[in-house]
Amino acid sequence: MACITLKGPNGERTIPEGEPYKLLIGEAISGVVWDCGYELSSGGSLPNEELSDKLHGDGIQWGSAIKWATTHLGIKQCSACHAKEVILNHVKENGWIATLKAIKAIR
């Protein structure tokens, strides 16, 4: 996994790929380390086995799966994103055509 290296008055720090960060006062990006040995954390959510069991038991809730992925990539959720999550979670009941039409209606 790649990491961004930041250098500032307090020393140097390494940020794993996909982790959100803010530059501190006097800090600048000094480079990239292509193999820094970090692994993306699960963010305190369900272990992979529990997540897999939940998805297979209830069927995939697409909205929750997309929210999980974007959250772990550091993308913040807006109100339209939350509405799309709820709509996508009901694709099993509503069908793909109705779901896509409902998502398209959200601006």
Average pLDDT, integer, range 15-43:
75
Res. 101: pLDDT tops 50: yes
Cβ atoms of residues 60 and 33 within 8 Å: no
Query: Which of 12-36 are b and which e, b meaning 16 or more Cβ less than 10 Å from the residue's Cβ?
Result: eeebbeeeeeeeeeebeeeeebeee
- Residue 44 has a pLDDT of 46
Cβ atoms of residues 60 and 66 within 8 Å: no
- Residue 12 has a pLDDT of 87
Where are the chain's structural domains? 3-33, 48-105
Res. 56: pLDDT tops 60: no
Average pLDDT, integer, range 46-56:
55
Whole-number Å distance between alpha carbons of 38 and 40: 7
Q: In which band, very low, low, confident or very high, does the pLDDT at 42 lie, cut at 50, 70 and 90?
A: very low
